[in-house]
Amino acid sequence: MDKTAEQFRKAVSKYKAIAIYIPGSPDPDAIASAYAIKLILKHLSIETEIFAEKRLSLPQNRAFIKQLNIPVSFGKEVNLNTYQAYIVPDFQNNRVEKIDYKIPCAAHIDHHEQSKDALKADFTLIRTDAGATSTLVALIVKNINIDFSDQELVSMATALTFGIQTDTDKYNNINYLDLEALDYLLDYTDLNVLQGISSIPLSPKTLLYYNKAKENEILHRDWAFYGIGYIDAKSRDSIAITADMILENSDHNTVAAFAVIENSYKGEMYLDVSLRSRSEGVDLNRIIKQITPNGGGRKYKGAYQINLNYFLNAPDKNKLWEVVQATTVEKLSRSRDALYISDIENIYGYLKNRMLSFFKKDSDFS
C-alpha cells in the first residue's frame, strides 16, 4: 500500500477544497473512512467538509460521532462554488446527483464491487478482499508519511477500528488486509471509547421491529423473508439490524428483512430491503443488481431500495403494503430459484464437457 498512499496524495493534492460525500445510509464504516480522509487532507492543506445524504438513525451511530467529535453535515447540499472536487468512500457508485459532471471525483474508495456506470476518478481504490473501507483507509493512513498528532491518531484509529468491527460482523469475517490494518490501528485505539460505543443497547423501536418481523416470517425453500411494514426514516437502520439478528438466530441459508420507509420531511417513500446470507455461493451483489441498480452487496450482506413516491397518496396503505410485500417475496423467491438453476446448469455443463472429453480420449485410443 506504500505506492497506493502516494498515489492518493498525488490525486487529491491537485485541489484546494474537496467535499467528502457519503451517499445512502451513513454507517460507521463510511463515517470513519470519511473522517480519516478529512484528517489526511487537513495535513495536505486541503479544505474539506463531510456531507451525508441521510441522517443517522441508530443510537450507537449517534454516540459514535458524538464521542469522537466527528463533524458531519447531514442532508446539506454541496456548494459547488466552494469545492473543486469530491470524494466518495464506502459506496459502489461515485455518481452523486447535482455534483457529478460539475466537479471531478478526486477519489473513490470502497470494498464493494464497483458499479458498472461509476465515473472515472483521479484515484480509485476498490478492494473486494477487504472487509471494510476503513481497512483500506487505515492502510493509507499507515503509509502516507504524515506526522499526525497523538490526539488525531487516537481519534482516527478508534473510528476506523469501529468501522472495521461493524462491517466485519464483530471480526467474524476478516481477512489478511483487515488484520494488517488492525495490527496498526490497535496501537492507538482508545479501547474504553470503543467498548462504550459497542455496548450501547438497541433502541426499543428496533426490538419492536425485530419481533414484528419474526411474526411475519415467509419461507421459500432455504430462504426466509420478513416484512416489517411501514417505518419512519429515522429508524430505517433497524431493517439491517433485524436482518443481522434473524440470520444469527436462525438456521436459514439466506434472509431478507424489508419495510416501506416514510420520510414526511422530504415527502418521499421507498422500499428498503436488507439481505443476509451465510453461504459463500450466494452472490448477493449479482442478485440485487438484477433487481435494481439502487443497491448492491458483498459477501454475506446486501441491500437495495425501490422508489415508491408514486404511491405517497395511496388511499389504502394496508392494501399497498400487501402488494409491496407479496411482490418483494415473489421477486426474491424467483431470484433464489434462478440462482440455484444457474448453479445446476453450470454443474451439468461441467459434467457434459468432462464426458465429451472422456469419449474423445477413448476414440483416440481406438
Q: Let me know: does 12 contact 44? Beta carbons within 8 Å.
A: yes
- Same domain for 64 and 153, yes or no, is yes
Q: What is the pLDDT of residue 305?
A: 95
- Same domain for 159 and 268, yes or no, is no
pLDDT at 190 over 60: yes
- Same domain for 156 and 260, yes or no, is no
- Same domain for 128 and 52, yes or no, is yes
The reply to whether 79 falls in a domain is: yes
pLDDT at 344 over 50: no
Domain extent, residue 294, equals: 204-345
Tell me whether residue 117 is exposed, middle or buried, using C-beta atoms within 10 angstroms of its C-beta: 0 to 12, 13 to 18, 19 or more: exposed
Q: Let me know: does 117 contact 95? Beta carbons within 8 Å.
A: yes
As given in the structure block, the three cell numbers for residue 38 are 478529512
pLDDT at 194 over 90: yes
Q: Which of 200, 265, 264, 255 is nearest to 228 (CA)?
A: 255
Q: How far, in Å, CA of 149 to CA of 190, rounded? A: 15
Q: What is the CATH number of the domain that holds 28?
A: 3.90.1640.10
Q: What is the CATH number of the domain that holds 269?
A: 3.10.310.30
Return the axis-axis angle of helices 133-143 and 150-167, rounded to nearest 10°. 150
Average model confidence (pLDDT) across the chain: 90
pLDDT > 70 in the chain, percent:
92
Assign 358 a pLDDT band (cuts: 50, 70, 90).
low
Q: What is the pLDDT of residue 244?
A: 92
Q: What is the pLDDT of residue 355?
A: 53
As given in the structure block, the three cell numbers for residue 78 are 454541496
User: Which tens digits make up the pLDDT trace of 6-58?
Assistant: 999 999 999 999 999 999 889 999 999 999 999 999 999 999 999 999 888 88
Q: How far, in Å, CA of 12 to CA of 110, rounded? A: 17
User: Which tens digits make up the pLDDT trace of 292-308?
Assistant: 988 888 888 999 999 99
If you search the block for the grid coordinates 453535515, which residue do you land on? 73
Q: What is the pLDDT of residue 184?
A: 96
Q: What is the number of alpha carbons within 13 Å of residue 74 lying toward its C-beta? A: 12
- Same domain for 176 and 305, yes or no, is no
Q: How far, in Å, CA of 272 to CA of 295, rounded? A: 10
Q: Give the gyration radius of the chain's Cα atoms.
A: 22
Q: What is the pLDDT of residue 346?
A: 46
Q: Let me know: does 203 contact 58? Beta carbons within 8 Å.
A: yes
Q: What is the pLDDT of residue 158?
A: 97
Q: What is the pLDDT of residue 166?
A: 92
CA distances from 57 to 88, 202, 203, 238, 354 (A): 21, 11, 10, 8, 54
The reply to whether 356 falls in a domain is: no
- Same domain for 126 and 187, yes or no, is yes
As given in the structure block, the three cell numbers for residue 4 are 497506493
Q: What is the pLDDT of residue 354?
A: 56
Q: What is the pLDDT of residue 57?
A: 80
Q: Let me know: does 80 contact 102? Beta carbons within 8 Å.
A: yes
Q: Which of 198, 215, 231 is the last residue of a domain?
A: 198
Q: Which of 238, 270, 275 is nearest to 256 (CA)?
A: 275
The count of structural domains within the chain is 2
Name the helix (H) or strand (E) containing 87. Answer: strand 85-89
Assign 284 a pLDDT band (cuts: 50, 70, 90).
very high
Within 10 angstroms of residue 305's Cβ, the number of other Cβ atoms is 16
Question: Per the confidence metrics, is the pTM higher than 0.75?
Answer: yes
Q: Give the residue-averaged pLDDT of 312-328.
A: 96
The reply to whether 123 falls in a domain is: yes
User: Which tens digits make up the pLDDT trace of 80-119?
Assistant: 999 999 999 999 999 998 998 999 999 999 999 898 889 9
- Same domain for 174 and 274, yes or no, is no
- Same domain for 303 and 333, yes or no, is yes
Assign 365 a pLDDT band (cuts: 50, 70, 90).
very low
- Same domain for 82 and 153, yes or no, is yes
Q: What is the pLDDT of residue 311?
A: 96
Helix residue ranges, H only, the chain: 2-12, 28-43, 59-67, 133-143, 150-167, 176-185, 191-198, 204-215, 237-248, 284-291, 317-365
